[in-house]
Structure 1
Amino acid sequence: MMTGLKLLKRLCTARGISGFEDEVRDIILKEIEPYATSIEITPLGSIIAFKKGANPPRTKLMLNAHMDEVGMIVTYITDEGLLKFSNVGGIDRHVLCGKPVTVGNRIPGVIGAKPIHLLEEEEKEKAVPVKDLYIDIGAKDREEAEQYVLPGDAVTFNSIFDTSHGMVKSRALDDRAGCAVLIDMLKNNLEYDMYFVFAVQEETGLNGSRTAAFAVEPDAAIVLESTTAADVAGVDRENQVCNVGGGPVISFMDRHTIYDREYYRMAFRAAKKAGVKCQAKRAVAGGNDAGAIHVSRSGVRTVAVSLPCRYLHSAVGMIALEDYQSMQKLVFELAEMIAGGGSND
C-alpha cells in the first residue's frame, strides 16, 4: 500500500466522533511535529500548526480540515441491558439498523430494532426512528451492561478499509481524507508561511473551526472536505451533485456560505496548472467549516475544495483514489496562489 494510503488508513480506522477526537489528534500530532514550525492545541482540542515558508505571504492563509466523524452516543441503558442512543452529527436513519458498532474503544455491538415479522404492514415501509433503535452488546441485563458501558460513551461504526478497483472504501473519509492531504502538504517545503487547522466538532456545529479561525485571524481560508456524490442508479445527472472520478469539487454556494467568487475561479485555474480534473458542485446544499470561518471576526475570504464521496455519513463511504491524489495537487497549487496574492499564472 502506498505510504499516503497507509496514513489515510490509520486516520480512517481511528475512532473519533465529535467531542472524542483524541485518537485522531494523537496520530496527526505524531505525523506533523517534525515538520511544523509551531503547534498549538486550542481549549476545544483543535490543532493549529504553523509552517514557515521560504517567504512571508502576501495573504495570511489558513487551511482547514476536520478530525471528527459522525457517530452515536449512549443515552440510556434499559433493564434488559440494551443501549439507547442519539446520533452525533447527521446520519440517515435508513442506514442504521443491523450495523455493527463499537462502544467506546473496545465493546462490540450491533444496532437492532423490533424484528420484521412483528412489524405492522405500514411500519415495514418506513425507516425505523432512532428512538426505536437500540445497541445490543449481548449483556443479559442493565447491571451487566453497566460493567462495560455508561451513558455518554461514544459509539462508532465498524468498517472496512479497501482500495480495490481504484476506489477507497472506508468509514470517516469525511474528513480524514482532508486531514491526510493537509499532513502531506505540511511535510513539504512551502513557498509561503501558512497555518494548518485540524478542527474538532465540525459535525455538531462547526465549533472547532469557529474558535480556530478566531485565534489565527486569517485573511483567507481553504476548507478541505468531502461532499455527497449521488452519481448512482436512479438519480438524474442534474441531481447527482458531483461525480466520483470527476476530480475535486469546488462550491460556489451551500446552505451556510457564499464562496469568494475570485477564489472559486482561481481553484479551476489551479487545477489546470496542476494538470488535474476539477468539477463544480451542482447543488446548493449541505455545508462545512467554511460556514463558521468566512464570518469570523470581520470576515475571511474562503474557498472549499471537496472530495466527491458516495454514501457520506454512513458506515462506509467511497472516494476515487484519483480524486484524492488530484486534491493533493490542486490544494497545494491553490494555496500557493492565494498566499502569494492571487497569481493569475
Structure 2
Amino acid sequence: MIDYTLLRKLCAADGISGDEGEVRDLIINEIKDCADEIRIDNLGNILVHKKGRDRAENKLMLSAHMDEVGLMVTDITSDGFLKFDEVGGLDRRVVVGKRVRVGRNGVIGVIGIKPVHLTNGDENAAIPAYSELYIDIGADSRDDALSVVGIGDSICFDSEFAETESTIRSKAIDDRFGCLVLIELIKSDLKYDTDFAFVVQEEVGLRGAKVAAYSIDPEFALVIETTTAADIPEIEPTKQVCTLGEGAVASVMDRTTIYDKGLVKAAFETADEIGVKAQYKRAVAGGNDAGIIHKSNGGIRTLAISLACRYLHAPNCVANKSDCESVMLLAHKMAEKIAGGEL
C-alpha cells in the first residue's frame, strides 16, 4: 500500500533544482535506519546501498529525482516587487495569480500582472513573458523586501496536497512519487543487494543523474518517474500520451532515450504476472534521467517506469491512486528480477 502521509510530506517540501536540501533531509530521516550505506556526493545526490538476503547477480541502480520546477528571485524593484525567472520548464500560462513561497523563510507572495482592466488589443490573449510578471509579498520598498528575501532565493508554489477516493493532487508529484517508491523499497526486505540514487537537478538538464551513474557504475538502471498524461477534453486519443487509471507507464522512446527493448518487453510481461495494469507511453515526447544514465560509463541497460500525471510542471498535478499502486508493485518486482539475473 502507498503511504500517502509520507507522499504528502515529500510533495509539501520545497526543493527546486539546486536547492533540494529540505527534500534531502526528509528522505535521509526516513531511510537512515534501513539503509546499509548512505553517501551525499558533492552535487547533493543521496547514494544508498541496501543489502538484500542474497548477493545480486546484476548491479542495479534505482533512480528518482528530488528537485521540482519552480522560480528564482532575480531582482527586486524600488517598490518592493520581486522579479523572477523559471528554474526548469514551467508553463507560463498557469502561473499568473498563484500563491508562492519565497526563500527559506517561506515568505508568501502572489504572482501578479497588469490588471485586465488596463489591457487592450492583443494583450488580453497573449501569454505574458516572465519579464512582465512580478511577485507581490506586501513589501513597501526594496529595503523592506530585502529584509525577508534575497536575490537568488528559491520560489515554490504554495499548493496543498489533496486526496479523493481515487486521485491525488499536489505540486511536485514529479518526482516526489518516484522518491517515495525508492524509500519504500529501501525499507522493504529486499531479496538482492541494490543501489539507489536520489538525484538533484533533473529539471535543468539531468545533472545529478550523470554524477550518480558514474559513481555507482551499475549494469542496469531503473528510473522511477512521472510523465505527462494528456487524457483531457479536446485532445485526440492518439495524442494523449498516456491515460490515468490504465497503470504504470513504460516508454519505448522519448526525446533523450531509446529504451532497452528487452526490459520494456519484460515490464509488460511482469505486469501481467503480478496482476497490475501497464501501458505504453504513446508519444515520443519529454525525457528524464534515463537520457544521461543509459549512456554513462560503458553503457547501462535502462528502463523508465512512470506514473501518469496530468498538468505536469504546474502548481497542481493530478494522478490516480491505482496507478501509484501499479508503479510501486511493478518497480519492486522488476528490481528483483533484474538484480536476480532473470533479465
Structure 2 equivalent of residue 28 of structure 1? 27
Question: CA 1:3–1:319 in 2, change beyond 3 Å: closer, same or farther?
Answer: closer
What is the CA deviation profile of residues 18-47 of structure 1, one whole-angstrom value per residue up to 9, with x for unaligned ones?
111111111110111111111111101110
User: Which amino acid is 2:13 matched to?
Assistant: A
Query: Aligned-pair distance for 1:123?
Result: 1.2
SS in 1 for 2:335: helix
Structure 1 equivalent of residue 102 of structure 2? 103
SS in 1 for 2:176: helix
Judge conservation of contact 2:107–2:137 (CA < 8 Å) in 1: yes
SS in 2 for 1:65: strand
Q: Return the alpha-carbon distance in structure 2 between the equivalents of residues 174 and 3 of structure 1.
A: 16
Match status 1:325 vs 2:325: yes
Q: Return the alpha-carbon distance in structure 1 between the equivalents of residues 95 and 156 of structure 2.
A: 11
Q: Return the alpha-carbon distance in structure 2 between the equivalents of residues 34 and 174 of structure 1.
A: 26
SS in 1 for 2:262: helix
Structure 2 equivalent of residue 210 of structure 1? 210
Judge conservation of contact 2:2–2:325 (CA < 8 Å) in 1: no
Structure 1 equivalent of residue 48 of structure 2? 49
Write the mapping of 1:132-211 to structure 2, written as runs, cut at 5 A: 132-211=132-211
User: Which amino acid is 2:289 matched to?
Assistant: D
Q: Return the alpha-carbon distance in structure 2 between the equivalents of residues 115 and 248 of structure 1.
A: 43
Structure 1 equivalent of residue 118 of structure 2? 118
Judge conservation of contact 2:49–2:196 (CA < 8 Å) in 1: yes
Q: Return the alpha-carbon distance in structure 1 between the equivalents of residues 7 and 193 of structure 2.
A: 25
Q: Return the alpha-carbon distance in structure 2 between the equivalents of residues 19 and 174 of structure 1.
A: 16
Structure 2 equivalent of residue 339 of structure 1? 339
Q: Return the alpha-carbon distance in structure 2 between the equivalents of residues 168 and 13 of structure 1.
A: 13
Q: Return the alpha-carbon distance in structure 2 between the equivalents of residues 231 and 197 of structure 1.
A: 31
Q: Return the alpha-carbon distance in structure 1 between the equivalents of residues 79 and 267 of structure 2.
A: 55
Q: Return the alpha-carbon distance in structure 1 between the equivalents of residues 262 and 167 of structure 2.
A: 32
Structure 1 equivalent of residue 89 of structure 2? 90
SS in 1 for 2:56: coil
Q: Return the alpha-carbon distance in structure 2 between the equivalents of residues 91 and 313 of structure 1.
A: 6
Match status 1:71 vs 2:64: no
User: Which amino acid is 1:45 matched to?
Assistant: G
**Gapped runs of 5+ residues in structure 2?**
none
Q: Return the alpha-carbon distance in structure 1 between the equivalents of residues 284 and 211 of structure 2.
A: 25
Q: Return the alpha-carbon distance in structure 1 between the equivalents of residues 38 and 150 of structure 2.
A: 34
Structure 1 equivalent of residue 254 of structure 2? 254
Q: Return the alpha-carbon distance in structure 2 between the equivalents of residues 278 and 153 of structure 1.
A: 40
Large movers: runs of 4+ above 3 Å = none
Q: Return the alpha-carbon distance in structure 1 between the equivalents of residues 287 and 331 of structure 2.
A: 19
Q: Return the alpha-carbon distance in structure 1 between the equivalents of residues 44 and 107 of structure 2.
A: 25
What is the CA deviation profile of residues 47-90 of structure 1, one whole-angstrom value per residue up to 9, with x for unaligned ones?
01001112221211000000000000000001111100010000
SS in 2 for 1:181: helix
Query: Aligned-pair distance for 1:341?
Result: 1.7
SS in 2 for 1:159: coil
What is the CA deviation profile of residues 220-246 of structure 1, one whole-angstrom value per residue up to 9, with x for unaligned ones?
100000000000011110010000111
Q: Return the alpha-carbon distance in structure 1 between the equivalents of residues 179 and 274 of structure 2.
A: 20
Q: CA RMSD in A?
A: 1.0
Judge conservation of contact 2:223–2:304 (CA < 8 Å) in 1: yes
Query: Aligned-pair distance for 1:3?
Result: 7.0
Query: Aligned-pair distance for 1:211?
Result: 0.1
Q: Return the alpha-carbon distance in structure 1 between the equivalents of residues 164 and 27 of structure 2.
A: 26
Question: CA 1:328–1:213 in 2, change beyond 3 Å: closer, same or farther?
Answer: same
Q: Return the alpha-carbon distance in structure 1 between the equivalents of residues 150 and 100 of structure 2.
A: 16
Count of aligned pairs between the two proteins: 342
User: Which amino acid is 2:223 matched to?
Assistant: V
Q: Return the alpha-carbon distance in structure 2 between the equivalents of residues 269 and 337 of structure 1.
A: 12
**TM-score, normalised relative to structure 2:** 0.98
